[in-house]
């Protein structure tokens, strides 16, 4: 009861911090106290749509989702503590990185939101990579912008502002056109020394614009870059009504810079210091390692982004991770329901994940590709999930489930192998976060085998990005000692963190290497499936 009373007072006094993150399938809110302790959660389920060949969410869906998520949080707070949220110490928004949201000078969205999931910017990404001598992935905002220019799209001439999903929401709630540096690094390359957009590359891009006779320049349409800890505006009267439709939330609450889900994942796993690394696993999977220095060579499989404080990060990103597992779980649940058996979702996942432990280390010669969407690292503009079990394979439930877990990290591993085996980057351990790690020791062991490195999972692993965003908001509001983000997290948040670490099982490492060899060789089947299914 003492804890409940303390938490109630924190909320009543307006000293709690709020983080909201818009993921691919769920929008999550986390309310914390100044020590990072979770007071309450909220959520809202949503899903992207493939419309006219574009993965998108409508503007109406975005705001329904944001409002629905906040309402769920507020309702839960009232039910648990008997308190109406009226004020907060700070707020921060994060979301799926990259993508394309262009607006005209009146603030009208010129084309539907093009998410990170779209692999439709191949020409632009290739040309810009060659021009900059810096890897520009297809999902980056600058690739989407330049592809629109190359396509001669009518809206391009009217662009006055381009931002990301998190940047858009932040703008509408505060009036500020800004981004955290980690999120900005997924729009356009960052100078890690100056902590700003790379001026050489910006000048080179503006020369391209001159050739196209466009009347705007890149520096005029990109958001301002801010670092973690800086204030990024306050909640306006209009923004308060937009976020909380009940009208209970008051204006004037300070906002921290909006960040991407990669940056919030780093914060949530305390992986913002040099030589630390983390893996975020959800609809997509990405491994991030904070570097001591720039890589020796350009690698198209590795993205160069930054932490929320601007430290250089190498990212191995895969567009696909858990969507196919979720689809199979839905099938299994339908099967159970057909027999009149009801199993809650958590039990279903836990039971089948644990079943995978009984499988052969090489998955019994089964093979699967979880590509719901295109996968840039293996040259796929579109996806088509594929499961193969040869006649001589050991086709069992255990091997099937192990195959689904192995393939979740397959595309990401290809990039990480370049980082560790070619660039010789030393990774002492990886911190994993995301719902896939909730079943203790299962996906964690698979990831350790895939990367051949110890994997740490914290008790807070399931909180993930929205908790990381709430921590960034709290860091801005409560950093009275003016600590660096690294020191703040180490001393204020993670000093007594409970973790579990697994070291790679040599037999599973060997089995995973056999699996990934088949995975590489079998990609020709996946390419053929995509070509056939999309005729």
SS3 for 371-437 is: CCCCEHHHCECCCCCEEECCCCCCCCHHHHHHHHHHHHCHHHHHHHHHHHHHCCCCCCCEEEECHHH
The answer on pLDDT for 66 being more than 70 is: yes
Residue in 78, 51, 61 with CA at minimum distance from that of residue 24: 61
Q: Whole-number mean pLDDT of the chain?
A: 94
Strands, E, within 137-284: which ranges? 161-163, 178-180, 190-191, 196-197, 224-226, 259-260, 277-281
pLDDT in tens, 446-463: 999 999 999 998 876 556
Question: Measuring CA to CA, how many Å separate 266 from each of 47, 327, 418, 434, 487?
Answer: 24, 28, 21, 12, 14
Q: What is the pLDDT of residue 281?
A: 87
Q: What is the pLDDT of residue 434?
A: 79
pLDDT in tens, 402-439: 999 999 999 999 999 999 889 988 888 899 887 899 89
If asked whether residues 150 and 280 sit together in one domain, one would say no
Q: What is the pLDDT of residue 269?
A: 87
If asked whether residues 225 and 283 sit together in one domain, one would say no
Is residue 264 included in any domain, yes or no? no
Is residue 266 included in any domain, yes or no? no
Is residue 372 included in any domain, yes or no? yes
Is 519 within 8 Å of 410 (Cβ atoms)? yes
The answer on pLDDT for 227 being more than 80 is: yes
Q: What is the pLDDT of residue 190?
A: 96
pLDDT in tens, 486-521: 999 999 999 888 888 999 999 999 999 999 999 999
- Of 266-270, 361-365, 465-469, 499-503, where does the model show the most confidence? 361-365
Lowest mean pLDDT among 144-148, 194-198, 226-230, 378-382: 378-382
Is residue 194 included in any domain, yes or no? yes
Instruction: Give the integer Cα–Cα distance in Å for 261 and 317.
Output: 12
Q: What is the pLDDT of residue 238?
A: 98
Mean pLDDT on 185-206: 96
Q: Which domain holds residue 60?
A: 2-259
Report helix, strand or coil for 365. Answer: helix
User: What is the share, in percent, of the chain residues with pLDDT greater than 70?
Assistant: 99
Mean pLDDT on 357-361: 98
CA atoms within 13 A on the CB side of 409: 27
CATH code, domain carrying 88: 3.30.420.40
Q: How confident is the model at residue 213 (pLDDT cuts 50, 70, 90)?
A: confident
The answer on pLDDT for 247 being more than 80 is: yes
Is residue 265 included in any domain, yes or no? no
If asked whether residues 162 and 237 sit together in one domain, one would say yes
The answer on pLDDT for 317 being more than 90 is: no
If asked whether residues 475 and 522 sit together in one domain, one would say no
Q: Which two tokens stand for residue 317?
A: 């990103």
Instruction: Give the integer Cα–Cα distance in Å for 240 and 244.
Output: 6
Domain closes at, from 209, 227, 259:
259
Q: How confident is the model at residue 1 (pLDDT cuts 50, 70, 90)?
A: low
Q: What is the pLDDT of residue 283?
A: 86
If asked whether residues 74 and 21 sit together in one domain, one would say yes
If asked whether residues 250 and 358 sit together in one domain, one would say no
Is residue 423 included in any domain, yes or no? yes
Q: What is the pLDDT of residue 461?
A: 52
Is residue 229 included in any domain, yes or no? yes
Looking at the structure of the chain, the number of domains it has is 3
Instruction: Give the integer Cα–Cα distance in Å for 483 and 431.
Output: 23
If asked whether residues 234 and 330 sit together in one domain, one would say no
Instruction: Give the integer Cα–Cα distance in Å for 408 and 393.
Output: 20
Give the sheet arrangement for strand 90-95, strand by strand: 38-45, 26-32, 17-22, 90-95, 259-260
Q: What is the pLDDT of residue 119?
A: 83
Mean pLDDT on 512-532: 96
Q: How confident is the model at residue 301 (pLDDT cuts 50, 70, 90)?
A: confident
Mean pLDDT on 344-370: 97
Report helix, strand or coil for 289. Answer: strand
If asked whether residues 419 and 375 sit together in one domain, one would say no
If asked whether residues 24 and 96 sit together in one domain, one would say yes
Mean pLDDT on 107-116: 95
If asked whether residues 42 and 79 sit together in one domain, one would say yes
Is residue 218 included in any domain, yes or no? yes
If asked whether residues 282 and 310 sit together in one domain, one would say yes
Q: What is the pLDDT of residue 381?
A: 84
The answer on pLDDT for 468 being more than 70 is: yes
pLDDT in tens, 23-49: 988 999 999 999 999 999 999 999 999
If asked whether residues 299 and 309 sit together in one domain, one would say yes
Q: What is the pLDDT of residue 463?
A: 61
């Amino acid at each position: 009861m003492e804890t409940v009373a303390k938490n109630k007072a924190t909320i009543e006094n307006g000293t709690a911090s709020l983080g909201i993150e818009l993921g691919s399938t769920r929008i999550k809110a986390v309310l914390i106290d100044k020590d990072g302790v979770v007071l309450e959660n909220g959520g809202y389920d949503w899903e992207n749509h493939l419309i006219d060949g574009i993965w998108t969410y409508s503007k109406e869906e975005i705001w329904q989702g944001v409002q629905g998520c906040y309402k769920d949080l507020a309702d839960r707070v009232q039910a648990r503590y008997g308190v109406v949220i009226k004020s907060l110490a700070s707020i921060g928004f994060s979301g799926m990185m990259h993508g394309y949201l262009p607006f005209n000078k009146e603030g009208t969205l010129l084309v539907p939101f093009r998410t990170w999931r779209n692999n439709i910017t191949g020409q632009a990404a290739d040309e810009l990579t060659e021009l900059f001598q810096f890897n520009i992935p297809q999902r980056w905002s600058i690739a989407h912008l330049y592809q629109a220019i190359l396509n001669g799209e009518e809206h391009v001439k009217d662009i006055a502002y381009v931002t990301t999903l998190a940047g858009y929401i932040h703008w509408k709630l505060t009036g500020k056109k800004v981004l955290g540096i980690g999120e900005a690094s997924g729009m356009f390359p960052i100078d890690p020394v100056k902590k700003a957009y790379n001026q050489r590359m910006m000048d080179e891009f503006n020369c391209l614009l001159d050739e196209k006779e466009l009347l705007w320049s890149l520096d005029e349409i990109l958001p301002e870059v801010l670092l973690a800890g800086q204030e990024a505006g306050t909640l306006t009267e209009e923004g308060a009504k937009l976020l909380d439709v009940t009208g209970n939330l008051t204006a004037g609450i300070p906002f921290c810079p909006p960040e991407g889900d990669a940056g919030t994942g780093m914060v949530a796993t305390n992986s913002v210091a040099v030589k630390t690394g983390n893996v975020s696993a959800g609809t997509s999977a990405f491994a991030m390692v904070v570097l001591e220095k720039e890589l020796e060579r350009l690698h198209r499989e590795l993205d160069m982004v930054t932490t929320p404080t601007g430290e250089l990060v190498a990212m191995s990103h895969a567009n696909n991770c858990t969507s196919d597992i979720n689809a199979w779980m839905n099938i299994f649940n339908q099967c159970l329901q057909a027999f009149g058996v009801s199993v809650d979702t958590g039990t279903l996942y836990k039971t089948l994940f644990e079943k995978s432990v009984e499988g052969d280390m090489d998955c019994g010669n089964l093979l699967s590709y979880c590509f719901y969407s295109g996968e840039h690292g293996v040259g796929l503009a579109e996806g088509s999930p594929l499961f193969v079990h040869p006649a001589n394979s050991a086709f069992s439930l255990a091997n099937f489930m192990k195959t689904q877990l192995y393939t979740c990290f397959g595309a990401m591993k290809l990039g990480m192998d370049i980082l560790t085996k070619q660039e010789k980057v030393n990774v002492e351990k990886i911190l994993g976060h995301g719902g896939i790690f909730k079943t203790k020791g299962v996906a964690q062991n698979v990831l350790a085998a895939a990367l051949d490195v110890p994997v740490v999972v914290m008790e807070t692993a399931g909180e993930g990005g929205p908790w990381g965003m709430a921590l960034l908001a709290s860091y801005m509001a409560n950093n009275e000692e003016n600590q660096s983000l690294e020191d703040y997290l180490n001393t204020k948040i993670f000093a007594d963190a409970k973790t579990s670490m697994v070291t790679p099982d040599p037999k599973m490492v060997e089995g995973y290497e056999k699996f990934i060899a088949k995975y590489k060789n079998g990609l020709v089947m996946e390419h053929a499936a995509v070509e056939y299914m999309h005729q």
